[in-house]
């Protein structure tokens, strides 16, 4: 991993520059559109909905509306179709906003490549939605993404090819994905592949720069890179032992908290950790019994709506594609007779 990390440095730097450029272009094209967000009801969110949010001083009491009052106000009572359409639009905007925040990590997590590919999936999803039923806002989103992707396509192709080199080198060096080989056999296979990428990069100066770094790093690491293949069961580095300590730290951090996690939890789940909780089950039941059913349901609904803002915040390609497919199906159910 140390070898691959050093070999990937110029690729990662180019990827980072591409990511920044792509993010700026997306914001320039559709920034105003994706920044629009329905204002949530103010208050302190709770996870379980069992405790009501505190009411700010001088805030007039909420007057419950009867069904008749709702029916008499069409502006505050959008149809189910309009509400569901707007929810899908907001989900897509939130997905795009999230993708603009991705960060990379050497040697394989290249945020620029990932951002490009995930945004391309959103664009393809928009194509499917617009084919089913035209929508001005979705069309604007689609056109903006298309312009941003087109302007960075050449840079993406360059970084994507170099990233493929690194992944294949990692595959060559992986003893678990290959038959048992000696150190000399692994060395010959690796250097034969380096000759292949040398030929591929000869006519492309920027790719050749990536190749030169990979070759130079390989030459530097070669004296200590292959001898472990000759001793069965010997860890190639002491990272195998170090990983045990990292696993322990991860388990401790998952139970005691980690840097930055508290802020993310409060943003996503609400400030329930800051609210004093009843000390026992009896005290909890007593507290809940004084809360009206209406307040209880309102709070739970507000928590659900807040959590929904983060449903599409995932870096898993498989999961994101599945989520976009579900959005397409929801859109198709709204407009079954459109084409």
Residue the block writes with tokens 């060559």: 172
Domain locations in the chain? 1-45+79-230+315-339, 257-308
* 3-state DSSP assignment of residue 285: helix
Residue range 261-269: mean pLDDT, rounded: 59
* 3-state DSSP assignment of residue 141: helix
What are the pLDDT digits (tens) for 8-67? 999 999 999 999 999 999 999 999 988 866 555 555 444 444 444 444 444 444 444 433
DSSP letters spanning 86-124: HHHHHHHHHHHHHHTT---BTTTB-HHHHHHHHHHHHHH
pLDDT at position 58: 44
CA dist 199 to 8, 64, 185, Å?
Answer: 19, 74, 22
Secondary element (H or E) of residue 282: helix 281-289
Listed in sequence order, the residues at least 6 apart from 275 whose beta carbon sits closer than 8 Å to its beta carbon are 44, 46, 51
37: left (phi over 0), alpha (psi -120 to 50) or beta: beta
Listed in sequence order, the residues at least 6 apart from 95 whose beta carbon sits closer than 8 Å to its beta carbon are 122, 312, 320, 323, 324
CA of residue 106 relative to chain centroid, distance: 17
What are the pLDDT digits (tens) for 71-106? 333 333 458 888 889 989 999 999 999 999 999 888
* 3-state DSSP assignment of residue 48: coil
């Amino acid at each position: 991993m140390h070898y691959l990390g050093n070999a990937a440095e110029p690729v990662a730097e180019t990827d980072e520059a591409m990511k920044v450029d792509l993010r700026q272009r997306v914001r320039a094209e559709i920034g105003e559109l994706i920044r629009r967000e329905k204002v949530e009801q103010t208050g302190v969110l709770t996870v379980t909905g069992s405790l009501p949010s505190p009411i700010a001083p001088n805030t007039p009491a909420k007057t419950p509306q009867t069904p008749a009052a709702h029916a008499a106000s069409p502006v505050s009572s959008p149809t189910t179709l309009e509400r569901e359409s707007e929810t899908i639009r907001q989900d897509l905007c939130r997905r795009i906003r999230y993708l603009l925040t991705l960060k990379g990590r050497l040697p394989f997590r290249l945020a620029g490549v990932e951002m490009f590919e995930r945004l391309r999936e959103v664009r393809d999803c928009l194509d499917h939605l617009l084919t089913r039923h035209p929508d001005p806002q979705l069309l604007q989103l689609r056109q903006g993404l298309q312009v941003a992707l087109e302007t960075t396509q050449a840079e993406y192709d360059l970084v994507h090819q170099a990233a493929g080199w690194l992944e294949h080198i990692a595959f060559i060096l992986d003893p678990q994905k290959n038959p048992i080989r000696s150190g000399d056999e692994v060395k010959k296979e690796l250097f034969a592949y380096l000759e292949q990428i040398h030929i591929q990069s000869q006519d492309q100066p920027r790719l050749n720069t990536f190749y030169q770094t990979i070759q130079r790093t390989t030459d530097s690491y070669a004296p200590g890179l292959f001898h472990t293949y000759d001793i069965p069961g010997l860890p190639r580095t002491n990272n195998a032992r170090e990983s045990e300590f990292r696993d322990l730290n991860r388990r401790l951090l998952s139970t005691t908290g980690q840097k930055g996690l508290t802020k993310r939890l409060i943003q996503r789940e609400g400030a329930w950790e800051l609210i004093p909780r009843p000390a026992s089950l009896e005290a909890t039941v007593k507290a809940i019994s004084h809360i009206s059913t209406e307040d209880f349901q309102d709070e739970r609904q507000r928590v659900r709506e807040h959590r929904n803002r983060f449903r599409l915040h995932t870096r898993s390609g498989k999961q994101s594609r599945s989520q976009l497919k579900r959005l397409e199906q929801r859109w198709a159910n709204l407009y079954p007779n459109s084409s």
